[in-house]
């Protein structure tokens, strides 16, 4: 019994690693077969997936305290003390608050385009991350990825090679936004993935940056196509990625 215990333990660990996308292809196949045959392992997988989803969706996004960055920069001597707020600065912040709240109203009145699409592209990114493979076609070669989209969607997306800049192409997949199948390119950055979804619709404000469900999202429009970049990568590097893609010939 002790021997099988060790073997069972190993199988459980493999199920967790499978959900985390940490297994090599041979082990993926092996554990998929075992999960199909052994309800105990399938149940473990379902529990782990449910737990991961609950953690991701239910836990509130940790907000960094407002003064922390300035405090850290002061500690290491990057900046002096912040200027004391004068009545002028206070007045300006009041104006900003008024401006922001009127912007909020505008959003409430115009619910469709931006917000819904942002939700949809983030959902596509999440779904892909939960799958054992975040892509349908795996290739770092744009000449393989681009033709793959032909026949699956009306218009293949623009594919840009950014490997030299540290954003290698990983592959592509088809997401569904609303009821429209749209192409998503997947780029890598160290251990992070960036989903770049191209939607033939120019109705979104250019170069909008936001975060949704803990993911950073940047949208911009070029040639009648709105591009949505989604990643858990930090906002600065995601901006860099967006700029490189936009400026590429």
Partner 1 sequence: MSGEDTRARFERIVQPHLGDAFALARWITGDRADAEDVVQEACLRAFRAINGYAGGNTRAWVLTIVRNTAYTWLARNRSALVTAVDDLAATEHANANLAEASAGGTYAANPESDLIALADAAKLEAAIATLPSQFRDTLVLRDIQGLDYREIAAVTDVPVGTVMSRLARARQRLIRAIEAGE
Site for partner 1 in 65-84 (CB under 8 A): 65, 68-69, 71-73, 75-78
Nearest CA-CA partner of 163 in 238, 218, 245: 245
Say if CB 145 and CB 137 are below 8 A apart. yes
Count of residues that interact with partner 1, criterion CB under 8 A: 47
Nearer to partner 1, 26 or 55 (CB): 55
236 binds partner 1 (CB under 8 A): yes
Reported as type and span, the H/E element at residue 170 is strand 169-177
Helix, coil or strand: residue 53: helix
Q: Measure the CA–CA gap between 102 and 40, rounded to whole angstroms.
A: 54
64 binds partner 1 (CB under 8 A): yes
36 binds partner 1 (CB under 8 A): no
Nearer to partner 1, 60 or 249 (CB): 60
Site for partner 1 in 173-192 (CB under 8 A): 190-191
Q: Measure the CA–CA gap between 242 and 216, rounded to whole angstroms.
A: 12
50 binds partner 1 (CB under 8 A): yes
Among 3, 26, 37, 59, binds partner 1 (CB under 8 A): 59
Identify the DSSP state of 167.
B
Pick the stretch among 46-54, 142-150, 175-183, 194-202 that binds partner 1 (CB under 8 A): 46-54
Q: Measure the CA–CA gap between 71 and 58, rounded to whole angstroms.
A: 30
Nearest CA-CA partner of 174 in 142, 197, 201, 202: 197
Q: Measure the CA–CA gap between 93 and 30, rounded to whole angstroms.
A: 59
53 binds partner 1 (CB under 8 A): yes
Kindly list the residues in this chain that would bind partner 1 in the complex (CB under 8 A): 5, 8-9, 11-13, 16-17, 20, 22, 39-40, 42-44, 46-56, 58-60, 62, 64-65, 68-69, 71-73, 75-78, 190-191, 232, 234, 236-237
């Amino acid at each position: 019994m002790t021997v099988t215990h060790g073997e069972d333990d190993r199988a459980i660990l493999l199920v967790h690693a499978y959900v985390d996308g940490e297994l090599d292809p041979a082990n993926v196949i092996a554990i998929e077969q075992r999960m199909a045959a052994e309800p105990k392992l399938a149940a473990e997988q379902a529990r782990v997936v449910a737990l991961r989803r609950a953690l991701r969706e239910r836990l509130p996004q940790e907000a960094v305290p407002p003064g922390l960055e300035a405090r850290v920069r002061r500690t290491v001597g990057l900046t002096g003390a912040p200027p004391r707020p004068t009545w002028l600065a206070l007045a300006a912040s009041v104006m900003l608050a008024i401006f922001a709240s009127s912007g909020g109203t505008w959003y409430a009145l115009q619910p469709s385009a931006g917000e819904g699409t942002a939700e949809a592209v983030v959902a596509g990114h999440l779904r892909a991350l939960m799958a054992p493979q975040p892509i349908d076609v795996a290739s770092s070669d744009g000449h393989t990825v681009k033709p793959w989209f032909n026949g699956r969607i009306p218009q293949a997306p623009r594919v840009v090679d950014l490997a030299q800049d540290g954003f290698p192409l990983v592959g592509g997949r088809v997401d569904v936004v609303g009821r429209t199948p749209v192409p998503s390119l997947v780029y890598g950055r160290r251990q992070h993935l960036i989903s770049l979804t191209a939607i033939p619709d120019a109705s979104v404000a250019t170069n909008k940056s936001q975060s949704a469900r803990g993911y950073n999202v940047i949208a911009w429009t070029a040639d009648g196509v709105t591009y949505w970049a989604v990643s858990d990568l930090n906002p600065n590097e995601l901006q860099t990625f967006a700029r490189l893609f936009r400026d590429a010939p």
